Amino acid sequence: DIQMTQSPSSLSASVGDRVTITCQASQDISNYLNWYQQKPGKAPKLLIYDASNLETGVPSRFSGSGSGTDFTFTISSLQPEDIATYYCQQYDNLPPYSFGQGTKLEIK
Amino acid sequence: EVQLVESGGVVVQPGGSLRLSCAASGFTFDDYAMHWVRQAPGKGLEWVSLISWDGGSTYYADSVKGRFTISRDNSKNSLYLQMNSLRAEDTALYYCAKGQVPAATMGAFDIWGQGTMVTVSS
């Protein structure tokens, strides 16, 4: 099974900061990588699919990049409403479609 | 409005059984694969199971294989998860989620329900 290593596990940043989260796969997954946002008490929400494609309706300050085993998720200018936990997820070939451990983002 | 609504979560004793349901609306249900994903209290997301658009293919996480069964009734726009031999470690909020790409098992999960809570405790 493919393992996803996400870092950092928590992050504190100021409004307006550029925030970066990384995700590393245990083997090559091409671009089969998605990013989700989960706010407290809410269901996850798809932000980025296929490593770099912005889901419809998601603000352009969110972006993703990478391929193979190394991926990056970026918020270009942190907003107060971005406080959440972020998860990467791979879907290479057959299941299991594993998630990263999550990154809890807080405002400094 | 595209919507998924889970139900069936309760408190159940270890070794017990339970069936979760997920009612879909606002999209052509039988065009899409469906998933169950769970989240233990204070923990991260764990993918549980997948069923193809036509029900012909099913997949499970190792942690539930042989105990859980995923199914769907496309005539009722409904997804199910039959859970047997429940353990304390199955305690979690269970979400159903829609596959993003028509007729594909691969891809992102673009619509999620609000979740239903399963507690396994004596």
Quick: pLDDT tens for A22-33: 999 999 999 999
Q: How high is the pLDDT of residue A105? A: 98
- B3: pLDDT confidence band, cut at 50, 70 and 90? very high
Structure tokens at A34: 């998605």
Q: Test A95 with B114 for CB contact under 8 angstroms.
A: no
B20-to-B12, B36, B68, B94, B116 alpha-carbon distances in Å? 13, 10, 11, 9, 8
B14-to-A16, A61, B43, B47, B92 alpha-carbon distances in Å? 48, 46, 21, 21, 14
CA separation for the pair B89, B14 (Å, rounded):
10
- A94: pLDDT confidence band, cut at 50, 70 and 90? confident
Decide if pLDDT at A93 tops 80: no
CA separation for the pair A68, A30 (Å, rounded):
4
Chain B residues with CB-CB distance to A32 below 8 A: 106
Q: Which of B36, B33, B2 is nearest to B21 (CA)?
A: B36
CB atoms within 10 A of CB A41: 7
Nearest to A95 among B44, B59, B115 (CB): B59
Q: Which of B112, B39, B94, B16 is nearest to A34 (CA)?
A: B112
- How do residues B27-40 score in pLDDT, each as one tens digit? 999 999 999 999 99
CA separation for the pair B26, B41 (Å, rounded):
30
Q: How high is the pLDDT of residue B92? A: 98
A75's enclosing H/E stretch is strand A70-75
Q: Which of B110, B78, B64 is nearest to B7 (CA)?
A: B78
- A43: pLDDT confidence band, cut at 50, 70 and 90? very high
- How do residues B58-112 score in pLDDT, each as one tens digit? 999 999 999 999 999 999 999 999 999 999 999 999 999 999 999 998 899 999 9
Chain A residues with CB-CB distance to B44 below 8 A: 85, 87, 99-102
For chain A, which residues lie within 8 Å of any Cβ of chain B, measuring from their own Cβ? 1, 32, 34, 36, 38, 43-46, 49-50, 55, 85, 87, 89, 91, 93-102
Chain B residues with CB-CB distance to A102 below 8 A: 44-45
Q: Test B47 with A1 for CB contact under 8 angstroms.
A: no
Asked if the bond preceding A8 is cis, omega within 30° of 0, the reply is: yes
Structure tokens at B104: 């594909």
